[in-house]
Structure 1
Amino acid sequence: MIYSSVVVSEYAFAGLEDSLSELDMAENKLQNFPIKSLRRLERLRHLRLAWNEINAIHDDSYSRLNSLLYLDLSFNNFEKLEEHSFRSCPAIRTLSLYYNVIESVHQDALSSLRDLQSLDLSHNKIVYLDPLTFQSNKKLRSIDLSHNHVHYISGFCDQPMVVKLGIQDIQPYSVLVSGRAATIPAFTGIK
């Protein structure tokens, strides 16, 4: 059996640069995030790349999707989120990465997403999140970490937010401490 992946031409969306605002490229066997194909789409707000085989967003240092507000990368092959993983998409407000195989998240993986409001990391293999992971995401209001193997979470930004963590996901001797809870005397010293 011959297996091939789909490659999207750099000029696949020629003529749509000023009009295309939503694009669904789900279930296309894409192995690479098609940044070069998308970079000219100045009005692209909503991008769905679910059910592909993407494992990273390679930053070519000059391609940007500055108008992109919603990015769905669920059901892909991400194993880790590297430093500045989303630098090419700085305006994202909603990011879906559920049902990947993410084991690690670099503390600066999301630092370029200053407007991020909702993050879904459910159904992955995350055990630990660095206390500084969300320090740049001051607008973040919702994080779904259900169906992971989280042992310790600390240092969420001081903004009110909802963290969804299914009770079945909490490991024995796990500790969850928000930024505010860490200042409560009863929680002092808990690590």
Structure 2
Amino acid sequence: MLKKLEMQENKIKVIREGDFEGMKNLDSLILAHNQLSSVPANVFRHLTLLSSLELEGNNIAYVDKDAFAGLEENLQYLRLGDNNLHQISSDALRPLHRLRHLDLRSNNISAIPEDAFVGYGDSITFLNLQKNDIKVLPAMAFENLNSLETLNIQNNKLTRIPEEVMEPIMDTLRVVDIM
């Protein structure tokens, strides 16, 4: 039975609902470095055992709010770096309550919604937001990230980081990269 599917460095432009039907035992899916521009609703819904999804290095500008439906119970690693995202899709990410590793580096994200990371409390340990266009971190941005150990926010457009932003995570952080 297929556990890992690697389709990186191809010219895949579109993924659709049903494309991964019948691959219910898949644990890892790598679609990195293709030509995807969006992640549509329900495209991964049959992959309920998937724990790792790599979508970096595409041209993804849009993630549907139901893009990760079906992955709520097991997805731990999500890599969306090196794409063309302008915002964090809180509605798409929020149901992923077992997520441990979230990589959003090298996109065009300019703002972080206050509720972007609500719901990850005890799960997320690694958050990479480097090389975006983030100018301000909202006061409550990292409020509930009780297990966050690594935070990378270097190479953004931040001019200051208010103390109240970092205070909730200071006890758990081991690595902070801000310069």
For the criterion TM > 0.5, the same-fold answer is: yes
SS at match of 1:143: strand
Cα displacement string for residues 136-155 of structure 1 (whole angstroms, at most 9, x for unaligned residues) = 21111111011112122232
- Quick one: which amino acid aligns to residue 116 of structure 1? I
* CA pair 62-150 structure 1, distance change in 2 beyond 3 A: closer
1:87 aligns with one of 82, 94, 99:
94
Partner amino acid, structure 1, of 2:115:
D
Q: Does 1:25 align with 2:31?
A: yes
1:122 Cα deviation from its structure 2 partner: 0.7
Query: Following TM superposition, by how much is the alpha carbon of 1:131 offset from its aligned partner in structure 2, in angstroms?
Result: 1.3
Q: Aligned pair in 2 of structure 1 residues 120, 46: CA closer, same or farther (>3 Å)?
A: same
Q: Distance in 2 between matches of 1:102 and 1:61?
A: 19
- How far apart are 1:82 and its partner, in Å? 4.5
2:119 paired with 1:112: yes
Q: Matched residue of 1:20: which SS?
A: coil
Aligned mates of 1:29, 1:112 — CA distance in 2 = 31
Task: State the AA in 2 paired with 1:81.
Answer: I
Post-superposition offset of 1:26: 1.1
Q: Does 1:103 align with 2:110?
A: yes
Whole-Å separation in 2 of the counterparts to 1:35 and 1:41: 13
Task: Give 3-state SS (helix, strand or coil) of 2:43's partner.
Answer: helix
Q: State the shift of 1:76 in Å.
A: 0.5
TM-score by length of 2: 0.81
1:124-183 deviation per Cα after TM superposition (whole angstroms, max 9, x unaligned): 1111101100112111111101111212223221433132111xxxxxxxxxxxxxxxxx
What residue identity is the alignment partner of 1:135?
Answer: E
1:160 aligned onto 2:172: yes
Match of 1:41 in 2: 47
Aligned to 2:7: none
Residues 80-113 of structure 1, C-alpha deviations (whole Å, 9 max, x = no match):
2244441242211001111111111111111132
Q: Give TM-score, length-normalised by structure 1.
A: 0.77
Work out the CA distance in 1 between the residues paired with 2:65 and 2:12. Answer: 20
Q: Secondary structure at the match of 1:95?
A: strand
Aligned to 1:53: 59
1:34 Cα deviation after fit: 4.2
Find runs of 4+ consecutive structure 1 residues off by over 3 angstroms: 82-85
CA distance in 1, matches of 2:172, 2:138: 19
Q: Which residue is equivalent to 1:121?
A: 129
Task: Report the equivalent of 2:5.
Answer: none
Identity %: 27
2:83 paired residue number: 76
Within 1, Cα distance between the matches of 2:41 and 2:53? 12
TM superposition shift of 1:9 = 2.6
